[in-house]
Chains A and B, each alone.
Chain A
């Protein structure tokens, strides 16, 4: 604390010598609204001269409105309160600004994505499809197979590591693992992809593209997320439960399997679901390890597979002739991808809400 909290009362900062009635004059809510209405008016007038677009309109209104609020507040309430109001306006606008990409992105993806959101999209692949029509059945299947495989690899490793960290670990090994898991969360996804490629190229030779390699790459990204969330959840299991179990003569490993994990199962399921949501939209690692295919391939150990994000990427960047149809397919794939991720997030919240142990008896 460098600055000393002012000992004067707020009134002390106001210009003295003004009438005592001033002390009670405050900028009301409607007064603030009035400032922004006036700002809007200014922009309407400016529009006549300059011809503004929507973005400038909104930005200008906010900027002029904020300036007005500051000015009015300064003359009515003094500089300290005025500054407070200025910051309030800025903080609110910052939040509003952050909503612009979210809303415009959602609007844009839905608007362009619904174009091809039809039955054919979900039942057709691209085999033999030229131009119009076709679908992403093969890509959806590929994403499901690879994600399932990733989950199968990551969950046991991640869960057991979390069990180790919470129940067994101690000393330097625990510290080292905790730290490395933290660092692992920051591995760029493309590096994970390159790693999986470098690993498989040793066994299969250059140019290898396999579903399993994609699953390995995604596991590198998913494992630390699973460890992190499982660790948090396991820590929340009350020690009383463990001790009660030990007191009954139950060995530690059975206590963990039969008491600790079942108690935490809702939280674990939530964590796993969120971890799946984290990796299901990954594009870069799959681009370098799995590639793209036109036909359905269910076998992750045999050649290229299509996956939804990579499919979207290639449909957009290599659309063929004429390009419109492929670009429409790309947007629909993006829409499905967002729906999948959001759906998984909702499921995760539902799990934690529905299955959470009720407090008390």
Chain B
């Protein structure tokens, strides 16, 4: 075994074993992913077949999950709408504006936002952000109250859908900006220099060379952020005041919960069919995030191939 040249068959066997182990590990990952689906389906099945009145709320599985799904999507969309422009601007700042020596350090600082555990964001959201948002919401209600989004009445504690979306936005900011940074940095220097040589200002150069080059990367990054926002749990569980069903009112205290936050809050004290119902809602979340992530990866990867061919 230890000698390298005397016994070839043994070596071959070693090779085969090692290669087999490696391949086995790869296949194991596929099995895990399949297992996630299978076990979730198995444990969700009792809720799928149970009579409607046994499901919490008494109106069946669909009407239990619908408001949760709505809340999940609403919070994620708010987060995405707030985070994407900011993330692009930050990526531009780091790649195009900041002094080169500082750029890497500033990148780390933004990445720190991704390292903070989500429960700490929840703490911060409840104690720091939410109360500070109340006067702003009052202002929105008084001045823009005619828009259904800001109809109010303003929550007294600030634990609203908009606050939840804001916290989510901060959490997905580093994800989007990291990918945007990566694609902006890959902009061919020739394109940039050509634009500048023709007398373009820096903004014109960015608009004509950097943004078109990076747009699909930004879209892919935003979708990855969306996937993260859909599944984010603890921050929402702590921040959002949950009561009532589907509403677009972003600044009042009556908000739909999100699937993930609802599971985290209800699961520890649930039993029987309630557990199966929660797992069924988790299955819905899994399917949605799976689809979003697959789409995002497809976009990012297609771009990678495209740029790989170009450079």
Chain A residues close to B by CB (< 8 Å): 1, 3, 5-10, 53, 55, 80-81, 83-84, 87-88, 90-92, 94-95, 97-99, 101-102, 104-105, 108-109, 112, 156-161, 163-165, 167-169, 173-174, 176-177, 179-192, 194-195, 197-199, 201-202, 206-207, 220, 223-224, 227, 249-254, 256-257, 277, 280-284, 287-288, 291, 309, 312-313, 316-317, 330-331, 334, 337-338, 341-342, 345
CB distance from B205 to the nearest CB of A (A): 9
Find chain B residues with CB under 8 A from A183 CB: 33, 290, 293-294, 297
Number of interface residues of B (CB under 8 A): 101
Find chain B residues with CB under 8 A from A92 CB: 93, 97
A83 and B198 contacting across the interface, CB-CB below 8 Å: no
A177 and B117 contacting across the interface, CB-CB below 8 Å: no
8 A Cβ contacts from B69-105 to A: 85-86, 89-90, 92-94, 96-97
A341 and B115 contacting across the interface, CB-CB below 8 Å: yes
B22 and A163 contacting across the interface, CB-CB below 8 Å: yes
CB distance from B165 to the nearest CB of A (A): 14
Sample of 8 further A-B pairs with CB below 8 A, known A6-B204, A184-B29: A88-B97, A91-B92, A92-B93, A157-B25, A164-B22, A183-B293, A331-B123, A341-B115
- Please list the 3 inter-chain residue pairs (A to B) with the smallest Cβ-Cβ separation, ordered nearest first: A188-B231, A281-B117, A94-B89
**How far is B32's CA from A24's CA once the two chains are assembled, in angstroms?**
67
A330 and B15 contacting across the interface, CB-CB below 8 Å: no
Decide: A189 near B233, CB < 8 A? Known: A95-B90, A330-B123. yes
Please give me the residue from chain B that is nearest to A102 by CB atom. B113
**How far is B8's CA from A250's CA once the two chains are assembled, in angstroms?**
11
**How far is B132's CA from A53's CA once the two chains are assembled, in angstroms?**
10
Decide: A94 near B118, CB < 8 A? Known: A179-B297, A183-B293. no
**How far is B122's CA from A317's CA once the two chains are assembled, in angstroms?**
11
25 residue pairs bridging A and B, Cβ less than 8 Å apart: A6-B200, A84-B203, A87-B206, A95-B106, A101-B124, A105-B121, A161-B22, A167-B22, A177-B30, A182-B297, A186-B228, A187-B231, A188-B231, A191-B36, A194-B278, A195-B39, A250-B4, A253-B18, A254-B11, A277-B115, A283-B118, A284-B264, A313-B119, A337-B119, A338-B120
Main secondary structure of the interface of A (DSSP, over half): helix
CB distance from A276 to the nearest CB of B (A): 12
Select the stretch in B57-65, B148-156, B242-250, B281-289 that faces chain A.
Answer: B281-289
CB distance from B112 to the nearest CB of A (A): 6
B260 and A190 contacting across the interface, CB-CB below 8 Å: yes
Q: How many A-B residue pairs have CB under 8 A?
A: 292
CB distance from B25 to the nearest CB of A (A): 3
1/0 contact string of B183-205 vs chain A (CB within 8 Å) = 00000000000110011111110
